Amino acid sequence: MNAPLQIPQSAIAKPRLQPRLRRPLHAPDFAKVLDTLGAWVLALVWIAPLLFALWAALQPSGSALALDFSAPLTFQNFIDVWNAVPWAGYFINTLILVTLILIGQLVLCTLAGFAFARFEFRGRDALFMLVLLQLFILPEVLIVENYAIVAKLGLFDTALGIGLPYMASAFGIFLLRQAFKSVPIELEEAARIEGCSWMAVLWKVYVPAAKPVYLAYALVSIATHWNNFLWPLIVTNSPDTRPLTVGLSLFGAPETGVDISVISAATIMTILPLLVGFLIFQRQFIQAFLRAGIR
Amino acid sequence: MTRLPENNRPQNNLITLQKRRQALYGWMLMAPALALLSLFAFYPTIATFFSSLFSRGTTRHPSVFAGFENYGDLFADPTFWTVASNNLIYAGVTIPVSIIFALIMALWANAHIPARSFIRSAYFTPTILPMIAAANLWLFFYTPDLGIIDRITGFFGAEPTNWLGQPETALAAVIIVTIWKEAGFFMIFYLAALQTIPPDLREAARIEGAGRWTYTRRVLLPLLMPTTIFVFVNALINSVKLIDHLFILTKGGPNNASKLILYWIWEMAFAYFDRPHAAAMTMMVLLVLGIVAIAQFRLVEKRTHYR
């Protein structure tokens, strides 16, 4: 799974067959110095908003914008946020929502992906085109009617109501279909000869073979739905179901007059779990997005 | 199917039976996903079209068939033109600028540079943040007088600016946040593509006397074209989808100066409870996305050798 990001090191490490023609070997490499400088400046600019927020969150309320870097750091803002809103509740709601969606997606997309990859039947290809079309008909765009449907089903303001529209993910079906298609048919035949049923073949041959794809898809799904905002905003109405992003938006709106230090603290609290997860599983995360993006 | 001799019939029947069973299993496996896709993608698309054809019902005047009147209303509404042109500017700036940033980032993240993995993470981190959180982070920059930007410009003697509160800069402020958020994501795809390009090519180009710029323009960019198309389509979809930060930064204001289509749809449907016009607007977005989808399928079909 780590292969693609590691290829170049070994490839570049090959001995050069031709001497460099354009400049002598020991002269300072200005282009490289410029590259390094540029890359660093851009990297610092890119994480500056995050660093400022982190620093602001640790400032006493009201003084963050004073930009006094000698001021003592405090965790008071985090305590204030924790006490001001049902943060633990939002956190649990997000956790439930993300888990629910992921389980639904894994089950539905596995079954459908398997059908598209290994079953022959009339209308399959036309159906697959319809599924692909859903990559473009975003659930976000259909908010008006989806809201009506969720309300009719009596699922307004429930975790299921937020999650249901995302479970039959066209993207997941597509990814798993590709993964299942690349499984050698001999493996399946061997299992069939041993008397495995279709379900057993799926469970014992295909699912284990597609493990890296599952991991990639799971990471992308978690990140997407942890961060999703517009749809949960529409179908939630109470602190009992509201996810973190919606809680944060209600809390952080500037016109509520909340201090920037407190907003920063709330923001940091919202993103911290995902951020820490990202920093720990960085390579897998980037790989996951890569794999997920190559359609 | 070729006709089989009479004595092979039993086997033939067996094959048909097996085929039928395959089809049945196939449909059964697909059923749950298909049901949900129908419920939350196909049916709502059709339902949206229907509600866009009816007038807005009130208790006194029930909803009646109005033909394309809702569409006509939208075209007559100056807000529509403002919002549509805002979204065009939004797409027209965020797409190319994010792509250029993504390419530069990928080239740097792929080069031999000290602390490369830190640099790569720094570029990528905004991708995993919620748009709402990104908006909060940027508030700290945009706040008039006290924000980071005004501090810096103030240092050089400039007047404080209400970046989010004046029509001239509100949309630009929103665009910057979007670029910041998505460039690192697109970088990943370029990074993947760059790593499939053999380093010998660069060496060959150098021997031919091609400078760095020539190499980039004549060798690298053409090889990265499929990635660019993929990223372009994603960026295009994002230019419809990424509107969450409006809720924090500008709420589409001032005076619609930073309002984007999806935000407007939300506003019509859920703030003004005007579903028919929201549906008409949604239909137009779906039409554009559908054209993009078909164009991309065509393109992919032509390039099947590449997959």
Per residue in A74-102, pLDDT (tens digit) is: 788 888 878 878 888 899 999 999 999 99
User: A157: phi > 0 → left, psi -120 to 50 → alpha, else beta; which?
Assistant: left
Q: How far is A90 from chain B (nearest CA, A)?
A: 15
Please indicate whether residue A228 or residue A18 has the higher confidence score (pLDDT): A228
| Chain A nearest-CA residue for B131 | A227
Please indicate whether residue B189 or residue B104 has the higher confidence score (pLDDT): B104
Give long-range contacts, CB 8 A cutoff, 24+ apart: A264-267: A264/A53, A264/A54, A264/A56, A264/A57, A264/A64, A264/A77, A264/B136, A264/B137, A264/B140, A265/A57, A265/A77, A265/A78, A265/A80, A265/A81, A266/A81, A266/A85, A266/A87, A266/B136, A267/A53, A267/A57, A267/B133, A267/B136, A267/B137
Q: Do B132 and A249 touch (CB under 8 A)?
A: yes
Q: Is the pLDDT of residue B307 over 60?
A: no
Q: pLDDT tens digits, residue range A200-215? A: 888 888 999 888 888 8
pLDDT given for residue B305 in this prediction: 44
Q: Do A8 and B275 touch (CB under 8 A)?
A: no
- Residues on chain A touching B130 (C-beta within 8 angstroms): 226-229, 244-245, 248, 270-271
Mean pLDDT of B237-252: 89
Q: Is A212 exposed, middle or buried (0-12, 13-18, 19+ CB in 10 A)?
A: middle
Instruction: Mark which residues 104-163 of B lie under 8 Å from A by CB.
Output: 104-105, 108-115, 117-134, 136-141, 143, 146-148, 151
- Residues on chain B touching A121 (C-beta within 8 angstroms): 22-23, 26-27
Helical (H) or strand (E) element with B90: helix B78-110
Instruction: Quote the CA–CA distance of B243 and B132 in Å, as a whole number.
Output: 9
Q: How many helices (H) and strands (E) does chain B have?
A: 15, 0
Instruction: Please report the domains of chain A, with CATH numbers, ordered by start residue.
Output: 81-293 (1.10.3720.10)
- Give the sign of the dihedral formed by CA B59, CA B64, CA B67, CA B69: negative
Identify the bridge partners of residue B65 per DSSP, sorted by sequence position. Answer: B54
| Structure tokens, A95 | 């956790």
- Residues on chain A touching B47 (C-beta within 8 angstroms): 145, 148
Q: pLDDT tens digits, residue range B142-175? A: 877 667 777 777 778 777 777 888 888 899 999 9
3-state secondary structure chain A: CCHHHHHHHHHHCCCCCCCCCCCCCCCCCHHHHHHHHHHHHHHHHHHHHHHHHHHHHCCCCCCHHHCCCCCCCCCHHHHHHHHHCCHHHHHHHHHHHHHHHHHHHHHHHHHHHHHHHHCCCCCHHHHHHHHHHCCCCCCCCCHHHHHHHHHHCCCCCCHHHHHHHHHCCHHHHHHHHHHHHCCCHHHHHHHHHCCCCHHHHHHHHHHHHCHHHHHHHHHHHHHHHHHCCHHHHHHCCCCCCCCHHHHHHHHHCHHHCCCHHHHHHHHHHHHHHHHHHHHHCHHHHHHHHHHHHCC
* Radius of gyration of chain A, Cα coordinates, nearest whole angstrom: 25
Lowest mean pLDDT among A24-38, A260-274, B55-69: A24-38
Q: Which residue has the tokens 């600028």?
A: B97
DSSP 8-state symbol, B27: H
Mean pLDDT of B34-50: 91
% chain A with pLDDT above 70: 81
Q: Do B29 and A149 touch (CB under 8 A)?
A: no
Q: For chain A, how far is it from start to end, CA to CA, in angstroms?
A: 17
% chain B with pLDDT above 90: 29
Instruction: Quote the CA–CA distance of B227 and B220 in Å, as a whole number.
Output: 11
Q: Do B44 and A260 touch (CB under 8 A)?
A: no
pLDDT given for residue B294 in this prediction: 85
**C-beta separation of A141 from A79 below 8 A:** no
**C-beta separation of B53 from A151 below 8 A:** no
Q: pLDDT tens digits, residue range A186-202? A: 888 888 888 888 888 88
Identity of residue B211: G
Lowest mean pLDDT among A270-274, B99-103, B157-161: B157-161
Q: Is the pLDDT of residue B95 over 50?
A: yes
Mutate to test the interface with B, among A94, A103, A169, A286 (most CBs of B within 10 A): A286
Q: Do A52 and B137 touch (CB under 8 A)?
A: yes
Q: Looking at the complex, does the CB of residue B15 fall below 8 Å from at least one CB of chain A?
A: no
Q: Is the pLDDT of residue A294 over 60?
A: no
Mean pLDDT of B216-243: 87
pLDDT given for residue A7 in this prediction: 38
pLDDT mean across residues, chain B:
85
pLDDT given for residue A13 in this prediction: 42
Phi and psi dihedrals of A26, rounded to 5?
A: -100, 0
Q: Does domain B78-306 have CATH number 3.40.50.300?
A: no
Q: Is the pLDDT of residue A12 over 70?
A: no
| Structure tokens, B22 | 């395959």
Instruction: Mark which residues 261-290 of B lie under 8 Å from A by CB.
Output: 262, 265-266, 269-270, 275, 278-279, 282, 285-286, 289-290
Lowest mean pLDDT among A83-92, A234-243, B7-16: B7-16
Lowest mean pLDDT among A25-34, A179-188, A217-226, B223-232: A25-34
Closest residue by Cα to residue B133 from A80, A245, A234, A233? A245
pLDDT tier at B261, thresholds 50, 70, 90? very high
Q: Is B202 exposed, middle or buried (0-12, 13-18, 19+ CB in 10 A)?
A: middle
Q: Do A120 and B278 touch (CB under 8 A)?
A: no
Identify the bridge partners of residue B54 per DSSP, sorted by sequence position. Answer: B65
What residue ranges in chain B does DSSP mark as E strands?
A: none
Instruction: Quote the CA–CA distance of A79 and B303 in Å, as a whole number.
Output: 56
Q: Is the pLDDT of residue B110 over 70?
A: yes
Mutate to test the interface with B, among A16, A46, A152, A285 (most CBs of B within 10 A): A46
Q: How far is B32 from chain A (nearest CA, A)?
A: 6
- Residues on chain A touching B244 (C-beta within 8 angstroms): 229-230, 245
A234: which residues sit within 8 A by CB, 6+ positions away? Answer: A143, A147, B266, B270
Q: Is the pLDDT of residue B99 over 90?
A: yes
CA dihedral B47, B50, B54, B60 (to 10 degrees): -30
Q: Looking at the complex, does the CB of residue B34 fall below 8 Å from at least one CB of chain A?
A: yes
- Residues on chain A touching B150 (C-beta within 8 angstroms): none
Instruction: Quote the CA–CA distance of B162 and B150 in Å, as a whole number.
Output: 9
pLDDT given for residue A27 in this prediction: 52
pLDDT given for residue A255 in this prediction: 53
- Give the sign of the dihedral formed by CA B205, CA B209, CA B212, CA B218: negative
Q: What is the ipTM of this complex?
A: 0.84
| Chain A nearest-CA residue for B237 | A136
Size of interface A-B (CB pairs under 8 A): 301
